[in-house]
Amino acid sequence: MFSVNYRDPRPIYEQVKDGLRRAIVTGVLQPNDKIPSVRDAAGELAINPNTIQKAYRELENEGYIYSVVGKGSFVAECGKALESLKRDLFRQLDKTVGELRHLDVSDAEICEHISAGGSEEANND
C-alpha cells in the first residue's frame, strides 16, 4: 500500500502518513476500509511501531482515519479533511504560480504545464 524511502529527507512517519493520505485521496482506500494495524504495518515496513502510531495519530487528528477500540483503524468519511487539503494545495499552487511569474514564466506556459499533468518528475512521486 505504501513504502518508505530511506533516502527521502522527510521523517519516516511523514512518509507513512503521506502514503496513507494519498491512498485515501486517490480512492485506493475507501471510507470504512480497515487499514493495517500498527503492528502489521511496522512489521511490513520493518520500522518501529511508535513511528506508525505517530502517523496514524496525526491522520486521525486531521480526520482521515478513525479508531475503534479493539477493532483497529479505519478510513473516515473525510470530506472536511479533503476540503482542507484542497485549500492547502491551492495555497501552495498560488505561491508557486507567483514565484513562476517572478521568473517571467507566462500564464500560458503555466496553464500548458498544468494541462499536461505536470512534469515527468512530478508524476513519478
Q: What is the CATH number of domain 12-77?
A: 1.10.10.10
Residue 51: per-residue pLDDT: 96
- pLDDT tens string 2-13: 788 889 999 999
Residue 77: per-residue pLDDT: 86
In the chain, where are the structural domains located?
A: 12-77, 80-123
Q: What is the largest CA-CA distance in the chain?
A: 57
Rounded distance between C-alpha atoms, residue 67 and residue 3, angstroms: 22
- pLDDT tens string 76-111: 987 676 777 788 888 989 999 999 999 999 999 999
- pLDDT tens string 46-65: 999 999 999 999 999 988 99
Contact 73, 31 (CB under 8 A): no
Residue 119: per-residue pLDDT: 61
Global pTM?
Answer: 0.68
- pLDDT tens string 33-42: 999 999 999 9
Counting other chains too, the contacts that 9-15 makes at CB distance below 8 Å and 24 or more residues apart are 12/47, 12/51, 13/51, 13/52, 13/54, 13/55, 13/58, 14/55
Q: Is the pLDDT confidence value at 125 over 70?
A: no
Strand partners, 65: 75
